[in-house]
A and B are shown apart, each in its own frame.
Chain A
């Protein structure tokens, strides 16, 4: 077909016109084959600049457009919009960055002009090989799957469920509430936990749009954002798995406690009356705090940071719930002597320090200590420790509560592999970006909330559940179509030999392996066009739209001619 390329050079006010001899660029570029028109304009990104471009495209019935102006990061979308309005496929357009890459990097006008000419020629060389690409639209399923029925899972389900959006809540055990239902009270305000959980479970049961699967787990989750196919199976019997389709998945699988027998110096399992914080919560919930010999203890010690060395991180909530334990004890056993062994008190945020000061006033001992060793002494337990001045001290107590670190659930790896979510070095689920996308993952449509992504207290967990609903409600709108990435990669069926190198480098899980034909297949809806697979493919079977080898080769050739 006969190509007619329009080249438009933006003066960008003083920015380009002062630093580059635009007329020289125009003369250098006009004689190039297929170039129909070369013009300059004061400010192309302004309103009348855009109108000018639209008229030019229509008047000269241009087939390709090259704009020499600022960085694509600034106005590539603007000029693509202009193409669309002028009924020119937005991908038959190339932006040469002669501002950041030429005008702003040198005072020498001649050098800047020379480079500008090269860049514009390169853009023209490339645009000739562009092919028009169509935006795709796929319809999305608004429903959501929530895995894990703890506080995080319940909160997310309540937030998301509505008339147009069903929520499927899958819980491994036989009832909702997760670890938290074993606690009697919350530490902020010492409010009874049961009210919070009952209120949420009642709301869930009465909400017609939330379908709960108890004693069940997710067996398979394949697909992409907007269309996941899920298989849910009962944990203990071999019944037929239930198949559902959802648009997004929320992982709220919670966490477990570090097993203290990995730190023998605390004598867990060896000495009686050495119990973990979870065991103490359950004992407290049952109302009777008793030693093994059914006597009430009159001295209790809580040891913080159990397993912090081994795990390599502070689990954030143990200091606060240890303060809560002190209050439980003072309430139930008025003259019990309570002491806490800690290394660093982690009580951030506006309410925690006040809670600590008030607890301290109930004469609870706080001992900063290190390298603690426990030994049995008759019926009691002797805590040998170094105090702040590094000299050895001892303390005899009846009962010891260990506050172990929080670790990922043991089925975390299974779920990670099933959903294609990656895990960080500690085994928790890894978020897409630590700061800006704390609850989304590199697999679009799968969100991680609560302790499944790291130690967190209850109110932060609730915030993250709401944040997940914020993300889903804003991107998975009933009836609204999804627009996946256009510039995706493709793998030629006849050239692919099935060496699976691309599978290892794809960070979005967008490539699956066809076992019968022994070839890799790109799912163009998940693919985000990062190009890893194209670079890794040894034989060139993989290529990516809009960045084809020929397009890049011509661009480079013209630039270095």
Chain B
């Protein structure tokens, strides 16, 4: 790359905690950052949690200041509703085509007063809240989402289905809603790419033995996080579908572990955290945690486990497990060392395995980087660096490279920045 001048700009894909930290650190080194985020908000999965383990710090209080810094940093060009469509070139000179879907709300004029939600006639399940609450066709995923600007969901908005509805535009005092906004094709030249596209949880419906979707009171861990969230569907009180508080709960670890073939390393810790959630809202609730091997490495994690044990939760090691209906109540059928028993509970929380994002393979093809046999992006050699992908100049951080907790993702984000800055 000697004769052509190295490009200084950097593309970061995914505005989760890893993407945010990488962008802020790159901006600190006076690098121009293009941060492409598929959804309409920043913060990724982290802002879905109410508290994060080991010191139970409130997650939004931890992430919101970083999101604010991100929005006010003029080195960082945040492209929400953006999708990387094509990447050409090599390290030092990539040409990236981005398809930016129209938000139909002007980011500068809108001040997030939410006046446009109420008049919208359309109402449907809110994906951010795992379907536990409703949202309108023009919506902000949750209270306090940043950037605090709504988007119009064109698949469900009546206007984009041919009707003459202008309810939201009339309600807006700032003429921020503009129906004839168009999708944009953006082309940028960057020197390096940091992929922080995150993860999804395995779909537990096909794992029939857990009867997710069949029995009402079986929840995934993400659903439970939203139940406990103060800005969530139930404003933090833990209620079943019938509105009553559960008196006994079973938390099942390693859901989908044999199907996936690896331990997702964070579920033990966040399942223990659920103890704190449940006990703080329903003090005399009876909790039983079903686990195979407790995976709580690291200096502060076992202390967290000891503290949780004091709240008298019974830890049950299982070999096989099944959730079924017995008459009216839900039961957990499990066997430990050959002995079978059943435990009737009001509520079951599943800790599903972490797997690559559903569009990961497509992104891998676009970027031209290889995937490992689980579908995560493949690090070239863990003993050289686990952030270097198969293609020079492209770095993989956070759960896109493999299941890990927040601090390891942030370390990888910083490491990727180290690599980018020592490129030129």
Contacts and interface: CB of A to CB of B under 8 A. Distances in A.
B28 A474 contact: yes
Interface string B288-300: 0000011111111
B418 A466 contact: yes
A352 B113 CA distance: 49
B386 A467 contact: no
B297 A455 contact: yes
Interface stretch (A134-142, A230-238, A341-349, A370-378): A341-349
Contacts of B415: 463-464, 466-467, 469-470
B298 A316 contact: yes
A60 interface: no
Interface in B263-301: 263-265, 293-301
A186 interface: yes
A350 B418 CA distance: 24
B55 interface: yes
Contacts of B62: 435-436
B419 interface: yes
Most B CB within 10 A of own CB, among A162, A348, A354, A424: A348
A349 B55 contact: no
B416 A350 contact: no
A354 B262 contact: yes
Contacts of A468: 414, 418
Contact of B299 (A348, A424, A436): A424
B111 interface: yes
Contacts of B295: 344-348
B411 A74 contact: no
B386 A428 contact: no
B173 A454 contact: no
Given A13-B113, A188-B382, A346 B28 contact: no
Given A313-B301, A349-B265, A463-B386, A15 B113 contact: yes
Most B CB within 10 A of own CB, among A347, A389, A473, A475: A473
B372 A346 contact: no
A347 B261 CA distance: 11
A473 B412 CA distance: 15
A345 B413 CA distance: 28
Nearest to A12: B111
A43 B261 contact: no
B115 interface: yes
Contacts of A159: 418, 422
Contacts of B72: 77-78
Interface residues of A, number: 66
B262 A314 contact: no
Nearest to A475: B28
A434 B414 contact: no
Contacts of B408: 438, 460, 463
Most B CB within 10 A of own CB, among A14, A464, A466, A469: A466
A424 B300 CA distance: 10
A431 to B, nearest CB: 8
A46 B108 contact: yes
Interface residues of B, number: 68
Most B CB within 10 A of own CB, among A312, A351, A467, A471: A467
A388 interface: yes
Interface string B58-78: 000010011010001000000
A459 B411 contact: no
Contacts of B57: 435
B407 interface: yes
A470 B411 CA distance: 9
A552 interface: no
A353 B296 CA distance: 15
Interface stretch (B184-192, B201-209, B342-350, B398-406): B398-406
A437 B299 CA distance: 16
Nearest to A46: B108
B299 A14 contact: no
A94 B386 CA distance: 47
Nearest to A437: B410
A435 to B, nearest CB: 5
B359 interface: no
A425 B422 CA distance: 36
A470 B23 CA distance: 12
Given A13-B174, A313-B302, A467-B414, A350 B293 contact: no
B337 interface: yes
A33 interface: no
A464 B411 contact: yes
Contacts of A463: 385-387, 408, 411-412, 415
Given A191-B383, A349-B262, A463-B411, A470 B403 contact: no
A322 interface: no
A470 B413 CA distance: 9
A471 B24 CA distance: 11
Interface string A426-445: 10100000111111000000
A460 B419 CA distance: 15
Contacts of B26: 474
A452 to B, nearest CB: 12
Contact of B173 (A13, A73, A346): A13
B302 A348 contact: no
A557 B421 CA distance: 51
B386 A459 contact: yes
A14 B173 contact: yes
Given A12-B111, A15-B113, A353-B261, 14 more contacts: A13-B113, A77-B72, A159-B418, A313-B301, A316-B297, A425-B303, A434-B54, A436-B21, A436-B410, A464-B415, A466-B419, A467-B412, A467-B415, A469-B415
5 contacts: A314-B298, A351-B382, A466-B387, A467-B414, A468-B418
